[in-house]
């Protein structure tokens, strides 16, 4: 006979046997650890002889389900067995992957126009640890091959395509082919496109990372990231690095990403259609010097984008005539678009890099990467496109 529990114990322990029918939506497993039915079961799970969870830093059912879903999307229609691992942010996806795959003495070969945070991470955290960064123009494939031939310490080619904010593209098939020839690992940041618009693995890229904070979530309400790669390397190296560095995602953020994923196809189609209409509108405006959008035949990398992408996405930038003041005046007159330093949300987000995200960057370096004084970046949302064009037009006319 069991002694009746006292008040304080009843507060602490949940009633047993309350399991119900299967929930329709993914539950949030807000638990740091998992109970074992017996010590024998605990031993079997710890030894990997029985499937089960132990501790949420090592793995959690909510997070794993979302990771598996994104890995399936990233390899959709491809004959590739990949695994996904969700982590705490896009930055954490990059740092976990580097910690897992590189060691002091290894070098990363990449482009100068990466997301600024990524360049800073490589330069300020990894370079002092002995992982050197080589910045080059990844569009110049012959130059890349020369570097690979000359330097056997290059271990990773890291790219973003299209890149921020000029939407310049790199040839993933050519770079991945070279990497295979010289025995390097390739990594693509596919945040701008999502697997709906581009699958880097289709072109031979080994690992794909995302800031799921952006389009995969789509609603601007969580910070998280994912690494997708070959099953073997993911389990033996990347999972271990995540577990030890503690860069795991949390179940609530993963759950929010899953909600966003349900409408990914619909959103990306609308983002792309709206961005195309806006790019075409901007190209006709007298106040606009130039428009950067991969979908425009006038874009320098349009043909490459056409080959690699299934649509051109929601990101574009344009150069206003009149320099810095014209950019600031334009931003001050905007009414519908949101002035916020992120991208990929359902609402249209607008940024003036010269006065906002790149205000502390050396002007010469900024200009070298196409971030001119009058450049405006738009993350085109899914609103009615006529309202967006009206807002841009009134800000320009003003």
Q: How far is the CB of 93 from ligand PLP (least distance, A)?
A: 8
The 146-185 contact track toward ligand PLP, x by CB under 6 A, reads --------------x-------------------------
Q: How far is the CB of 224 from ligand PLP (least distance, A)?
A: 7
Strands 107-111 and 154-160 come out as parallel
Given 171, 189, 301, 391, the catalytic residue? 189
Cα 95 from Cα 239, distance rounded (Å): 13
The angle formed by the CA atoms of residues 85, 96 and 82, to the nearest 5 degrees, is 35
Catalytic residue among 107, 214, 270, 377: 214
Rounded Cα distance between 186 and 158, Å, is: 6
> In this structure, are residues 84 and 67 in contact, taking their beta carbons and an 8 Å threshold?
yes
| 26 in Cβ contact with 62 (< 8 Å) | yes
The question of whether 29 is a catalytic residue gets the answer: no
How many residues line the site for ligand PLP (CB under 6 A)? 12
CA–CA separation, 86 and 257 (whole Å) = 10
Is 97 a residue that touches ligand PLP (CB under 6 A)?
A: no
The catalytic position among 29, 106, 115, 377 is 115
Distances from the Cα of 32 to the Cαs of 27, 53, 245, 250, 322, in angstroms?
Answer: 15, 10, 16, 10, 55
Confirm if 179 and 185 have CB atoms less than 8 A apart. yes
Choose between 225 and 233: whose C-beta lies nearer to ligand PLP. Answer: 225
- Which tokens sit at 176? 């991945």
Sole binder of ligand PLP in the list 62, 95, 211, 222 (CB under 6 A): 211
Q: Which residue, 188, 209, 164, is CA-closest to 342?
A: 164
**Selected binder of ligand PLP within 64, 74, 132, 189 (CB under 6 A):** 189
Tell whether residue 191 is a contact of ligand PLP (CB under 6 A).
yes
Q: Does 225 bind ligand PLP (CB under 6 A)?
A: yes
213 contributes a contact to ligand PLP by CB under 6 A:
yes
Which residues, numbered 284-343, are part of the site for ligand PLP (CB under 6 A)?
Answer: none
Edge-to-edge order in the sheet of strand 225-230: 82-87, 225-230, 207-211, 185-189, 154-160, 107-111, 132-136
Report, in Å, the least distance between residue 381 CB and ligand PLP. Answer: 16
For residue 107, what are the β-bridge partners?
A: 132, 154
Residues 115-144 that bind ligand PLP (CB under 6 A): 115, 117
- CA dist list (Å): 127 to 105, 119, 131, 319, 333: 10, 11, 5, 34, 42
Active-site residue flag, 215: no
Question: Pairing state of beta strands 82-87 and 185-189?
Answer: unpaired
Interatomic CA distance for residues 37 and 43, integer angstroms: 11
214 among known catalytic residues: yes
**Contacting range for ligand PLP; rule: CB under 6 A; set: 89-97, 102-110, 283-291, 365-373:** 89-97
Whichever of 195 and 326 has its CB closer to ligand PLP, that residue is 195
**Residue 25 to residue 71: CA distance in whole angstroms:** 20
By CB under 6 A, name the one of 91, 249, 337, 378 that touches ligand PLP.
Answer: 91
With beta carbons less than 8 A apart as the criterion, state whether 181 and 286 touch: no
- In the chain, count of helices (H) and strands (E)? 16, 12
Residue 348 within binding range of ligand PLP, rule CB under 6 A = no
The answer to the question of residue 113 lying near ligand PLP (CB under 6 A) is no
Among 60, 62, 75, 89, binds ligand PLP (CB under 6 A): 89
Residue 112 lies near ligand PLP (rule: CB under 6 A): no
The answer to whether residue 22 is catalytic is no
Shortest gap between Cβ of 219 and ligand PLP (angstroms)? 14
Q: Give the contact letters, 5-44, x = binds to ligand PLP (CB under 6 A), - = no.
A: ----------------------------------------
Catalytic residue positions, numbered: 57, 115, 189, 214
Residues that bind ligand PLP (CB under 6 A): 89-91, 115, 117, 160, 189, 191, 211, 213, 223, 225
């Amino acid at each position: 006979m069991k002694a009746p529990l006292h008040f304080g114990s009843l507060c602490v322990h949940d009633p047993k046997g309350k399991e119900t029918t299967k929930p329709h939506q993914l539950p949030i497993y807000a638990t740091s650890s998992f109970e074992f039915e017996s010590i024998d079961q605990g031993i079997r799970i710890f030894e990997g002889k029985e499937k089960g969870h132990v501790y949420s830093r090592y793995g959690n059912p909510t997070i794993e389900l979302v990771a598996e879903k994104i890995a399936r999307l990233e390899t959709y229609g491809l004959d590739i067995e990949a695994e996904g691992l969700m982590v705490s942010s896009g930055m954490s996806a990059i740092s976990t992957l580097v910690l897992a795959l590189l060691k002091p003495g290894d070098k990363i070969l990449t482009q100068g126009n990466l997301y600024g945070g990524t360049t800073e991470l490589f330069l300020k955290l990894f370079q002092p640890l002995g992982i050197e960064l080589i910045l080059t123009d990844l569009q110049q494939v012959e130059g890349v091959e020369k570097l690979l031939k000359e330097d056997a310490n290059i271990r990773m080619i890291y790219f973003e395509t299209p890149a921020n904010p000029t939407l310049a593209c790199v040839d993933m098939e050519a770079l991945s082919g070279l990497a295979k020839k010289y025995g390097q690992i390739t990594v693509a940041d596919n945040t701008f496109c999502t697997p709906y618009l581009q699958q880097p693995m289709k072109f031979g890229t080994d690992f794909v990372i995302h800031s799921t904070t952006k389009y995969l979530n789509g609603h601007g309400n969580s910070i998280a990231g994912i690494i997708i790669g070959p099953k073997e390397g993911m389990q033996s190296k990347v999972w271990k690095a995540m577990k030890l560095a503690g860069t795991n995602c949390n179940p609530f953020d993963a759950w929010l990403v899953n909600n966003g994923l349900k409408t990914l196809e619909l959103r990306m189609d609308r983002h792309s259609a709206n961005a195309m209409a806006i790019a075409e509108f901007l190209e006709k405006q007298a106040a606009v010097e130039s428009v950067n959008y991969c979908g425009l035949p006038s874009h320098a990398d349009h043909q490459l984008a056409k080959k690699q992408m299934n649509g051109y996405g929601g990101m574009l930038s344009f150069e206003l005539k009149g320099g810095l003041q014209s950019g600031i005046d334009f931003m001050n007159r905007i009414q519908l678009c949101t002035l916020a330093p992120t991208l990929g949300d359902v609402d249209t987000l607008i940024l003036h890099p010269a006065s906002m995200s790149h205000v502390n960057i050396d002007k010469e370096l900024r200009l070298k990467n196409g971030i001119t004084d009058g450049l405006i970046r738009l993350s085109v949302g899914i609103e009615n496109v006529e309202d967006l064009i009206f807002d841009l037009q009134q800000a320009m006319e003003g």
